[in-house]
């Protein structure tokens, strides 16, 4: 697997230090065009032109290090010219849907997105989410998939694993976006939601072709993922509002304090109706129905 990007000269020393901390060691350069070459479980080569190439079987750790350095210090915060970022909202919420969103971003779009305030959606108020999401939609191409509670419960009964369910949802949504944009893509970046990276790899199979799949912890630091996070959160809020109006009940977010509300809902509408508004696979359901 290979990852490449451009690095500003004023970032070379810090990047070199961070890669040493990550476990790489300096080795002799292979040509006069190389600034330095490092190797351990993977190889990193910085060329005098500023191009960085990372190669190896599993380079995700190093890619994460590189992206963190570039995003913290670069004025644009962009290391990849064309990428798709993907994120989800609702996985930990008892009520409401699971929403996955994917956003295609190039370097010029990324600069605009950063200026309008796209960050991890968990750091934004519901009002700000709506305003920023509407601006993002005018700039980028995107795909958002809403998996209703009823559909979520059905899929979970088939796969018996939320990580597999989520991986398949992301893969379907990202591939749908790729088919619709028909533009060059360097990589797909998704927040790592499972300790088993194979979940996503298996879900995509060979369908990404030569496009690099990167799984990062705290991937919302990537502009594309932050944008996807905002769009997913905005759609989740919209769906929750629709559900609240339909049942004339203000559904709570999260999963910490929902038992009392869920019992009131069941008493008013029935346990069967609960399947249409809640992820009944949560252990919370046993407490609600006991």
pLDDT of amino acid 77: 43
Residue 13 exposed, middle or buried by CB count within 10 Å (0-12, 13-18, 19+): exposed
Q: Is the Cβ–Cβ distance between 39 and 27 less than 8 Å?
A: yes
pLDDT of amino acid 3: 85
Provide CATH code, domain 2-73. Answer: 3.30.310.10
186: annotated binding-site residue?
no
Tens-level pLDDT at each residue, the chain (290 residues): 788 888 888 788 889 988 998 889 999 998 888 999 999 988 999 998 888 999 988 888 888 888 888 776 554 444 456 899 999 999 999 999 999 999 999 877 888 888 887 766 677 888 889 999 999 999 999 999 999 999 999 999 999 999 999 999 999 999 999 999 888 888 899 988 887 888 999 999 989 988 889 888 777 778 899 999 999 999 999 999 999 999 999 999 999 899 999 999 999 999 999 999 999 999 999 999 98
287: annotated binding-site residue?
no
User: Where in the chain are the domains?
Assistant: 2-73, 82-241, 251-289
Residue 279 CA from chain centroid, whole number: 21
> What are the E-state strand segments in 68-194?
82-89, 98-106, 141-147, 187-191
**Strand 187-191 and strand 82-89: pairing?**
parallel
235: annotated binding-site residue?
no
Nearest to 104 by CA among 227, 3, 215: 227
CATH class of the domain comprising 82-241: alpha beta
pTM for the model: 0.73
pLDDT of amino acid 175: 96
pLDDT of amino acid 91: 95
């Amino acid at each position: 697997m290979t990852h490449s990007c451009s690095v500003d000269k004023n970032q070379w020393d810090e990047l070199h230090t961070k890669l040493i901390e990550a476990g790489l060691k300096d080795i002799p350069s292979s040509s006069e065009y190389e600034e330095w070459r490092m190797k351990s479980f993977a190889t990193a080569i910085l060329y005098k032109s500023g191009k960085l190439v990372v190669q190896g079987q599993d380079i995700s750790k190093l890619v994460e290090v590189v992206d963190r350095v570039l995003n913290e210090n670069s004025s644009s915060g962009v290391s990849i010219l064309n990428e798709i970022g993907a994120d989800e909202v609702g996985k930990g919420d008892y009520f409401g849907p699971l929403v996955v969103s994917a956003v295609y971003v190039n370097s010029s779009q990324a600069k605009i997105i950063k200026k309008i305030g796209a960050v991890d959606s968990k750091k934004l108020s519901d009002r700000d989410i709506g305003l920023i999401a509407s601006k993002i939609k005018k700039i980028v191409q995107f795909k958002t998939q809403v998996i209703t509670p009823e559909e979520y419960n059905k899929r979970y009964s088939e796969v018996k694993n939320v990580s597999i369910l989520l991986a398949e949802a992301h893969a379907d949504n990202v591939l749908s976006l790729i088919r619709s944009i028909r533009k060059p893509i360097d990589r797909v970046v998704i927040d790592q939601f499972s300790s088993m990276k194979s979940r996503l790899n298996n879900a995509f199979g060979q369908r990404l072709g030569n496009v690099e799949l990167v799984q990062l912890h705290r991937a919302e630091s990537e502009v594309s993922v932050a944008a996807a996070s905002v769009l997913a959160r905005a759609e989740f809020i919209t769906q929750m509002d629709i559900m609240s109006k339909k049942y004339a009940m203000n559904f709570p977010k999260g999963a910490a304090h929902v038992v009392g509300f869920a019992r009131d809902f069941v008493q008013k509408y029935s346990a069967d109706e609960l399947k249409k508004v809640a992820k009944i696979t949560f252990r919370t359901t046993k407490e609600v129905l006991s």
